[in-house]
Structure formats: structure tokens, C-alpha cells
Structure 1
Amino acid sequence: MLHSLSLSRRKAALALVLGAAACLPLTAQSQAAKSALNLAMVAEPPTLDIQSTPADLVCIIMQHVYEPLFTFDAKAALVPMLAESMPKISADGKLYSITLRKGVKLHNGRELNADDVVASLKRWMEVSPRGKSVSAQVADLTAKGPLAVEISLKNAYAPLLSQLAMASGMAAIMAKESLAQPLREYVGTGPYRFKERRPDQYVLLTRFDGYSARAEVASGYGGKRVAMVEELRFVPVPNANTRVEGALAGQFHYADLLPIEALARLEKASGKAVPIMTPSFGFPYLVFNTKDGSLAQQPVRKAVQIALGEGEMLAAGFGDTRFFIAEGNHFPKGTPFYSDAGTSNYNERDARKAKAQAEQAGYKGDPIRILTSRQYDFHYNMALIMAEQLKKAGFKAELNVVEWATLLQRRADPKLWDIYITHSGLFPEPMLSPPQLGDGAPGWWSSPAKTAALAALNQEPNPAKRGALWGKVQQVVYDEVPYIHVGKFASLSARAPALQGYTPFTYPFFWNTSLKN
């Protein structure tokens, strides 16, 4: 775990944050006590284009500005958002007819229509890794009237609605006149509108008074959304301990992804900060470069798989056993997609066997470049342990520690890395994460076995049959090692006692929250 900062260093780090806040517009500062939230995030967002990246940070911020056609409620059931209701689906599963809600206003004052939806989804299918996977399934996408859209598929594709509902890398609906590559304007339909970005200081969103809320009771990401505070100010605070100090000092109304060792301090800080545990938050995973470098060959990746002890990595990343579970099944027991297929290859941590496998595979001592960042402290701590496990098995492991934004850039170039560490939320549909299950995501996994297993899963419309078919996909993942599922974890964050109505979810949101006077 990260070592605690000395008192003087803590004060210095916190002073930087306070200094950044001092650069805010005077109006924002004067309103902060009653109508603005200061929200400490793990880093500066690499972009504000929510369609173009699966980065969680971009999703957390811009899901307040943009909305999808569908979303997930508190029980992970699909519900309509910009769509009036769930779509009509043809008997063969190839035609989806979607009706939009009437009177939904865009942030530029115009009413949303089907042309905006078609243009937005076409852009999403061009720029998003998830969208590109969906694009391969789409035969036609057309407007059938001012508020009607039809999606015609080449084959039945069971994950379609879940793909359209996913918040990360969102199939966000935008004003068609704002569409560009790259985006220069951020015109959506959400309860907040984009106002200002000052790099390394904040992203500022303001309440959209023309917002068209749904009538249903709020549930998860679904139902009625109300902007109860006037401004949301997302402040990049890369140092995890500085986020802790800011929360305890009352500087932040919310501080995201805190080190687990901060829990005891937060629990003792009665009246200053309230610790928040988000259970079943997600899973860390290791992405392998299957295209270039030391791990392009599957037998070498198998040797690495044998060398790793995921349990030890989780213990280093999270420490407190309340915050992690070491298990190889991708989905928890009791859920429709639970399977133990391939899990005999999980958590082997056998250095001798791994070294023999690597020699047999022809490994010649080339560096294995591990790309990681300190923005998520558990990534870095797991990377340290992983590097030592690989060295014990005879691999030449190199740790490349960079800023999170740099990691996102470098992972797009197969010449620059062999393994990178990331994490994902736990979602109810297998195709939502990780992106490597689709096509073209960093890692570039492609094989006949993958194609066949995923086709069977995705073309099966019966939910009762899809669970067993996922088990076959999970087996291929363990066999071909495009990525390694490390385990499952809960997250720690904190809120100010004055922040009311916050409900923990994978991607924290701040509509329906208020400040206690």
C-alpha cells in the first residue's frame, strides 16, 4: 500500500488543491456553500468525448451532460431513458423499433429528434471501441419519422440494448449540429450542461433549467433525474492521500477511490467525512498485447498466467479482506452468467512450472513491459507484486509507471507495452466489459475460437441458454490468455456529511443529491 504522507507534505499537497479552488470564478466560489459540489476525481480527464473512450473518469463526469436511449435501474434491469419505452423487437430478433420521448430539450434549446439519434449512434459506431463492435452487427440505422428510429441487424444480437445502455463509452445522444471529430461542443440532454474546463483545475457543469426528466421514481441510473444543486465541479486530485486529506478538511463534498488504509481515519472523523463502501464495484484485470512484443505468442502468455498469484496481488492492492475476493469466475455465484470454466488456471503462482513453460515456448529473455499508473493506487501496488512474481519465474519484467492519461495514449500503440493494468465495473451483460471481448480494443485479441464462442453467445436470444454459452467464452479466455481477471473488489470513497441523497454505484452520479443547509 502507499505510504502515508508526512504532515508537512500533506499540508503542502492540500494547499495545491485549495489553490486550484481559488482560481474558480468568483460566482462559483460565492455559491459553493449552498449550491455547488466540489468533487475530487483521480485525474485530469483525457477527453470530454464520452463516446470515444471507455475511461471511467470521462464517464463519471459527462454522464451528467449526455444521456443514452436506455439505461440500467438499481437491479441492473434495462429501462428506457431518452426512449419513450422499451423497443419493439421483431420475432427473428433483427429489427428494433424505438420511439423517442416527446419534448426532450437539448442544451441549445432545440427539441431532440430522430435525426439527432441516428447521427449520434453512427458517430458512436465510428469512434467507440464498443460502438465498432455493434457496428459489425448493424445492417441499417434510419429515422422513420420525427421521433422514430429503426435499427436493422445482420443477425440476432442479444447484447444490443445493453450496449446502448452502457454508461462507459456511452452511446450518448448529442445534438447533430455539435457532432465533430474531435468534439468542440458538448450539447446533450442531461440535467447538467457543460460550462467550462480549466486543465488540471476543474471541469465545471451547471444545471440545465430546461431539462426533461422522466416521471418514474429514481432507481439506479434510471427514472427521474433532478439537478438539485446548481453546479458540479470535478477537480483532478491525482494523489490519493491528498484526496483523503481534502475530504477530512471539508474541501470536497465527495472524494473518489480512496486508499483502503484510509478507512480507519475516515471512520474516526465523525462529522468531517463519511466513508462509502461500494460493494461488488468491479474487477481489476491485466490486458496482454497479443499483437506485438514478448507476449504475442499464446504459449508465452500461458507461462505468465502460470506464474501469477492473483490472490497475492489483490492483497497488495486492497489489504483489507472486506474489500476483495480472490476468485477466477468472471461473474459472481448466483448470477445468470456464473461459470467455473477454466478457473483451474487461476491463481497458480507456480514459478518453476511457469519457467519451464516459458522455455518450452521459446521465451528468450525479452523484456515484459508492464504499463501502470499511480492514479489508481491498487493498480500500482498490484503491478509491484506482479513484477516480482514474473521475475521469480525467470521473466525480465519492467515496470513503466506513467500518468493515467499517458497510459491511455500508450496502450493504443502495440510497440510500447506488453501488459497494462486496468479495472472495470461488474455489469449484467458479458459484452459490456472488458472491451477486449469486442474487436479492435488495445490488446487486439482475435482468434477463430473467440469468434465462434462469442457468435454463439450473442446470437442466442434466450437468457436461460446464454449463461452456459458464456462459460464457453470464459474457457477460451483462460486458454488463450488475452487478459487475466484478477478478482473482485469493493471501492472506498467519502462524502461530506452535508451531501444528501448520494447512492453508491459503479459510476458515481450527483443528480438527485443535495446539500444540507
Structure 2
Amino acid sequence: MKRYLQIVASLAALMLPATSAAWAEPAKGGVIDVATIGEPPTLDPMASTADLVGIVTQHIYETLYTFDKDWGIAPLLAADMPQISPDGLAYTIPLGTGIKFHDGSDMNSADVIASLQRWMKIATRGKQAAEVIAAIDAVDDHAVKIILKKPFAPLLSLLSLNNAAAIIIPSENAGQEPLTSFIGTGPYMLKDRKPDQYIQLARFDGYKSRDGEPNGYGGARKQYLDEIRFVPVPDANTRVEGAVAGQFAYVDSLPVESFDKISGGKTQPIILKPFGWPVFVLNTKQGLNSDIRIRKAIQAALAPNDMLLAAFGSKDFFAVDGDMYPEGFAWHTDVGTDAYKPDGDTEAAAALLTEAGYDGKPLRILTSRQYEFHYKMAQVAAEYLKAAGFQVQLDVVEWATLTKNRTDPALWDIYITHSPFLPEPSLTGIMSDSSPGWWVSDRKHQVLEAFNAESDPAKRVALFADVQKAIYDEVPAFKVGDFNALAAQAPTLKGVRPAPWPYFWNAYLEGN
């Protein structure tokens, strides 16, 4: 694993702020192919929380704010940080000037208001914000004011995320549902889409970059590449072979056990450590998991240690950890995690099933092989659940089908996904009442409202412990552990900063 440690060390160096010398202007030109885990179900990032949708569409659309390299909030389409009233109820946001949409029209406050109203109507995170937003008004053509019903600390983070995203689009397109005109303000615009073949983006010559240097998702966004083509490669082994052969400039979401094989190929392995957490989301709305005793039985039956070992092979690539955020994150706490049993507790699970009067109805687990580690965890989980007394049905589908089916509570009991460690806990899908899983309870609302109403960072950290305990007590989801992610990058592709949602503005081809 010496090679592995060298890669992790080099990754840490890559995450340092770019210097002026490092960002001397490269030559423009070139086309790159980026291999992704499949075909995105939509190019409307308001309508989906799928990471794949965010990865592609963040090049086309932009939000008012984004995240810098330290996961702080940074202006993007906003000219500056908002002016917040002393009572925390009014956010006055100045807008950038001279910003154009891909159709050549200028962005103004009418576009922002129409876009945010659409976001509050159709995006899960927008619906979450809509519960506390009283009004959004124009101050003038280049400023808007958001009025809240009560203080809401996560607002700017919700406005910054790239999935279920508060993208700004022309006001005349905001009534489209689903979105049919894919026009944003981003550095690249949609040129062509051949389903299951590629999504082709081309440089938008009218793009106005922010000044300064690149800073995470914030700062300057330069368009050195002529085109970016996102190529769906659903089979994990095919992605690995493509990485080894140098078929792609960048390959996302590779099985970590392929690290050594990729190291000997034509692309370089890139590891993000820690990347995030695999999660089993439970359907609390209807079916088996509407009964808390069944959810508790699942929680007791699952064995994270064996699930993670099957999914990632070596402890270099995972950690058995029930805390929602690992050590090193401000939100780290172990409150409530007594229910997290690394090796499971079959007897306790069986007793809970008996108490619930379980009648043998199949527990339907919705998963996909495009993220191979999801599927491997599902296989191990099924065996532990069977040992506890469950009948288990594995429904293995394409990722695009999974993201569609999970919106229908009649089709599943558990679906498997994963998430990076998000900078704001309230961005996590289960925090929204309307997110698939549909966790709604008085306890949730009580602890989450207290957490979201508090603006003091230290006090919010303490209040998050109550949120984590509610998650463990009510089991809307099961965190399996922590994991590292593996990608591959061509040695000629420069300027790419490792990130949970890889982006290719500021990227260039050496020697182009």
C-alpha cells in the first residue's frame, strides 16, 4: 500500500490553493472524454439529487453561491455575500452584472426570482427552504431580497449545492416542468446529447468568469477546453479497462480494488479520503418500513463490517464508523450510535421481527451495479437480513431507473445510495420531508428546527448531536460506514482539483 499512501499524499497537495504561477494561462483547445457511471436521468438539476446529474449540469448552470476549497460559502452569480438583517430574517443578495445566459440574454433579478420560485416548487431542497421563506422580492434589476418566516442557518448552503440545485435560468423557461430548454449561465453549454452515448458540452464564449484565482467550486472558472464529453459507462469493469487503456481523460467512480491495476496503466489513480458514506435509505412512508419495529430490526440485523469488507476489500479504503461525520469534521459526535453494531445482532433483529408480527412479506432492496459497491453491500445485507428472519427481494436496476423508481413509495422498501460528507448536515437528503424515504415525525421537526434556527456555529455543533440521536432512534436510514473514492485521470489533463463532484472548468490539456 506504499503506492496508495503516495497517491493520498499527492492528493493533499493538489487540494492546496492554486498559486498565481500555477495558473499561468495555458493554451485553449482540446476535447476530453469523461467516463461516468451511466446516463443521467435528467439534465434538470432542480429535479434530482443524483450526484451524476450534478456532476454534468454544474458546467451548464450556476447558482447564486457555491463552496470554496474549505467548504465555506462563496459568491458565484451573486456579486457578494448577502446583507443579513440583525434578526436573521432578511437576506439582501446583490447580483453580478454583465452575466449572460447561453441564449445571449442578460441575467437580472426577474430571472433569479422565477428560478428560485421554481426551485421551491420542484426541488427537494427547495421545498425544504420553502417552508421558511415568506417572500422573494426584487430590490432592483441587480438585487433580490429573501424574507424568512424564522431564522434558518442552512439557507446559503441550500442555495449553493449542485444537486436539487437552485440554478438560475431565464425567467421564460422557469415554467417548464420538466425542463426542455437547457440554458444556463455556466462556462459550457449543451451542444448535443445522444442518450447512452454521450453528452457533449461546448465552451460558452459569452461566459463571464469571476475574478481572482480558483478556489474550490468558487473563484475563477476558466474555459481552456473546447469541449467536454460525458460518456456513460455503466459497467464498472469496462470503466476500469478504459482507465487502464487511457481511453478517457477522466474516469469517475472506480472500484477501489482496481487501484493497483490502474496504477500500472495509462492513467493515474486519484483517491479522495475520506469521500463519504454509503447509506441504506428506508421507506418510512408506506410498506414494511412504515413500522418502526421493522426499521429497528433492519438496523440490528445489518453488519457494517462485513458489508464494507465485501464492498471495498481493504481497510485502506473504508472505516467502520457509525458517526454521521467522522473525526476531523466539525459535526463529529458519537451521540446515539449505541445502536450501530459493526457485526450486527441477529438475535435482537429476530426478536423485533417477532414483536412486529412480521408475516414474511418480501423486503424489497433497490440497488444498481453501476456503483458496484452498492450491489456488493446489498448482497451481504440480504444474507444478514435473511438470517434474522426476513424474506428479501433484490431489485437490481440501472442507476437512472433507480433514481426514478425511488420517487414512488410503492416500489421499494430500501434503496442504496451514498453521499459525500456535506458541509452542512441539513443538506443531507433525509433532512427534507419530501426526499425519497419521506421521514416525517414530530421528533425530527423538533430537533431539526432547533438546529436550523441557531446561527452560532458552536451551538449548532452541540444541537447536531440531538439530530444524530433522532436518526438512530427513528431509523430513516442506515449509515454503513466511511469510504474512500477512486477515480483515474490522464497525465496530460491538468488543472483538475480533486472534488466529490469532479469539474472541468480550469482544466486543460498539457502540450495542447
- The 3-state SS of whatever aligns with 2:200 is strand
Greater Cα offset, 346-355 or 220-229: 346-355
- The alignment's TM-score, normalised by the length of structure 1, stands at 0.92
Aligned to 2:15: none
Aligned to 1:500: 494
Partner AA of 1:514 in structure 2 = Y
Once the two structures are superposed, residues 89-116 of structure 1 have per-residue CA deviations (whole angstroms, 9 ceiling, x without a partner) of 0111110000001111111112211111
Aligned to 2:139: 144
Greater Cα offset, 157-166 or 332-341: 332-341
Partner AA of 2:453 in structure 1 = Q
Equivalences, count: 482
Partners of 2:420 and 2:221 lie apart in 1 by 22
Of 204, 208, 211, 2:204 maps to 208
**Is 2:392 the partner of 1:407?**
no
Shift of 1:41: 0.6
Partners of 2:331 and 2:109 lie apart in 1 by 35
**Is 2:283 the partner of 1:286?**
no
Partners of 1:212 and 1:144 lie apart in 2 by 23
Aligned to 2:478: 484
Partners of 1:320 and 1:81 lie apart in 2 by 39
Where do residues 86-235 of structure 1 align in structure 2 (5 Å cutoff)? 86-179=81-174, 180-235=176-231
**Is 2:500 the partner of 1:516?**
no
- Asked whether the equivalents of residues 272 and 499 of structure 2 are also in contact (C-alpha less than 8 Å), the reply is yes
Aligned to 1:245: 241
Partners of 2:310 and 2:171 lie apart in 1 by 47
Where do residues 36-51 of structure 1 align in structure 2 (5 Å cutoff)? 36-51=31-46
Partners of 2:203 and 2:370 lie apart in 1 by 29
**Is 2:280 the partner of 1:254?**
no
- Asked whether the equivalents of residues 244 and 264 of structure 2 are also in contact (C-alpha less than 8 Å), the reply is no
Partners of 2:349 and 2:242 lie apart in 1 by 45
Aligned to 1:7: none
- The 3-state SS of whatever aligns with 2:146 is strand
- The alignment's TM-score, normalised by the length of structure 2, stands at 0.93
Partners of 1:414 and 1:358 lie apart in 2 by 22
Once the two structures are superposed, residues 463-508 of structure 1 have per-residue CA deviations (whole angstroms, 9 ceiling, x without a partner) of 1100111110110110010101111111101011111111110000
Partner AA of 1:255 in structure 2 = V
Partners of 2:409 and 2:105 lie apart in 1 by 43
- The 3-state SS of whatever aligns with 2:159 is helix
**Is 2:322 the partner of 1:322?**
no
**Is 2:367 the partner of 1:357?**
no
Partners of 2:328 and 2:509 lie apart in 1 by 38
Aligned to 2:461: 467
Partners of 2:409 and 2:360 lie apart in 1 by 19
Partners of 2:328 and 2:314 lie apart in 1 by 24
Of 282, 294, 298, 1:304 maps to 298
Aligned to 1:11: none
Partner AA of 1:245 in structure 2 = E
Partners of 2:209 and 2:387 lie apart in 1 by 57
Partners of 2:129 and 2:289 lie apart in 1 by 28
Of 415, 428, 431, 2:426 maps to 431
Aligned to 2:56: 61
Partners of 1:101 and 1:111 lie apart in 2 by 10
Partners of 2:164 and 2:63 lie apart in 1 by 11
Aligned to 1:265: 261
- The 3-state SS of whatever aligns with 2:45 is coil
Shift of 1:250: 2.1
Partners of 2:275 and 2:216 lie apart in 1 by 14
- The 3-state SS of whatever aligns with 1:141 is strand
- The 3-state SS of whatever aligns with 1:471 is helix
Partners of 1:87 and 1:280 lie apart in 2 by 32
- The 3-state SS of whatever aligns with 2:275 is strand
Shift of 1:148: 0.7
Partners of 2:438 and 2:281 lie apart in 1 by 10
Partners of 2:330 and 2:124 lie apart in 1 by 25
Once the two structures are superposed, residues 163-192 of structure 1 have per-residue CA deviations (whole angstroms, 9 ceiling, x without a partner) of 000112211111112331111111111110
- Asked whether the equivalents of residues 432 and 438 of structure 2 are also in contact (C-alpha less than 8 Å), the reply is no
Shift of 1:336: 2.1
Partner AA of 2:352 in structure 1 = Q
Q: Percent of counterpart pairs with the same letter?
A: 49
The CA RMSD over aligned residues, in Å, is 1.1
Partner AA of 2:221 in structure 1 = R
- The 3-state SS of whatever aligns with 2:220 is coil
Aligned to 1:340: 334
Partner AA of 1:103 in structure 2 = G
Partner AA of 1:437 in structure 2 = M
Partners of 1:409 and 1:58 lie apart in 2 by 13
- The 3-state SS of whatever aligns with 2:261 is helix
Shift of 1:282: 1.3
Greater Cα offset, 249-258 or 504-513: 249-258
Once the two structures are superposed, residues 261-285 of structure 1 have per-residue CA deviations (whole angstroms, 9 ceiling, x without a partner) of 211111122xx11111011211111
Partners of 2:188 and 2:483 lie apart in 1 by 30
**Is 2:257 the partner of 1:274?**
no
Structure 1: gaps of 5 or more residues: 1-32
- The 3-state SS of whatever aligns with 2:105 is coil
Shift of 1:312: 1.4
Partner AA of 1:175 in structure 2 = P
Shift of 1:34: 5.5
Once the two structures are superposed, residues 312-335 of structure 1 have per-residue CA deviations (whole angstroms, 9 ceiling, x without a partner) of 111111112121111111112232
Q: 4+ runs of 1 displaced by more than 6 Å?
A: none
Partners of 1:397 and 1:37 lie apart in 2 by 43
Once the two structures are superposed, residues 53-105 of structure 1 have per-residue CA deviations (whole angstroms, 9 ceiling, x without a partner) of 00111100010011111111111111111111100001111100000011111
Shift of 1:347: 2.3
Partners of 2:368 and 2:474 lie apart in 1 by 26
